[in-house]
């Protein structure tokens, strides 16, 4: 008996921001033998997200150069100056709705927009979230593909957030002064939480001291 292949879970990285609080462009800061943004891309790819979309805006050419040869597929956010994170997620989701993608697996198989169950929404400044944690979120998303899935540590939620395909239109309809949190609050009864053993899901690098501590 033939079984249908599992629907793909994409990843959308919001990487269009200015890094104003950091004072330096954090997407390109060193991380191990790589950069912050390339490590985020590699971690998502290793965990099984496909495709991995990196939404760029500020200093887009430099981000593209840093990701050359990586599994990332670049999407431009023309509205990043108005609302960096929300419009980046909207740009990535719109691309998933309107295009076909070839995951970086060597298979050559193109993914049509109807073959996505949902997408992981990821921050560009969380290279410290390991693939194992991302895999936990993906595993739960595959088990409950119609629900929002959010990792939680000690009753506090973090990233990445799995947004099922059925809520993509609602995300795209949010006004520029809204936030992803507004959508999640509206659908709070539909959230499945995944308990993880690390607080990495709640930490990011808005300031230089946070970057140095996490690195």
Half-sphere exposure of 35 (CA within 13 A, CB side): 18
**pLDDT of the chain, 215 residues: tens digit per residue:** 444 446 789 999 999 988 777 878 999 999 999 999 999 999 999 999 999 999 999 999 999 999 999 999 999 998 888 776 899 999 999 999 986 565 554 444 555 556 789 999 999 999 999 999 999 999 999 999 999 999 999 888 999 999 999 999 999 999 988 999 999 999 999 999 999 999 898 888 888 888 888 88
What's phi and psi for 167, nearest 5 deg?
Answer: -105, 5
The domain limits of the chain are 8-214
Pick the CATH number of 8-214 from 3.20.20.70, 3.90.550.10, 3.40.50.620, 3.90.1820.10: 3.90.550.10
Q: Model-level pTM?
A: 0.90
CA distance 40 to 125: 8
The residue length of the chain stands at 215
Per the CB < 8 A criterion, the answer to whether 96 and 45 are in contact is: no
């Amino acid at each position: 008996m033939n079984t249908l292949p599992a629907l793909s879970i994409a990843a959308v990285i919001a990487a269009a921001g200015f890094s104003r609080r950091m004072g330096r462009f954090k997407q390109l800061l060193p991380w191990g033998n790589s950069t912050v943004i390339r490590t985020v891309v590699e971690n998502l790819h290793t965990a099984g997200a496909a495709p991995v979309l990196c939404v760029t805006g500020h200093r887009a050419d430099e981000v593209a150069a840093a990701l050359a040869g990586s599994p990332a597929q670049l999407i431009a956010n023309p509205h990043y100056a108005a609302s960096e994170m929300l419009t980046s997620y909207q740009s990535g989701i719109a691309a998933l709705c309107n295009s076909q993608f070839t995951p970086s697996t060597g298979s050559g198989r193109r993914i049509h927009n109807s073959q996505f169950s949902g997408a992981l929404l990821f921050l560009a400044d969380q290279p410290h979230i390991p693939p194992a944690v991302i895999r936990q979120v993906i595993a739960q998303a595959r088990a409950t593909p119609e629900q929002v899935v959010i990792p939680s540590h000690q009753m506090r939620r973090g990233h990445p957030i799995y947004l099922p395909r059925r809520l993509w239109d609602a995300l795209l309809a949010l006004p520029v002064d809204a936030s992803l949190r507004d959508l999640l609050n509206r659908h709070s009864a539909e959230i499945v939480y995944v308990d993880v053993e690390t607080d990495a899901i709640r930490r990011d690098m808005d300031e230089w001291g946070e970057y140095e501590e996490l690195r």
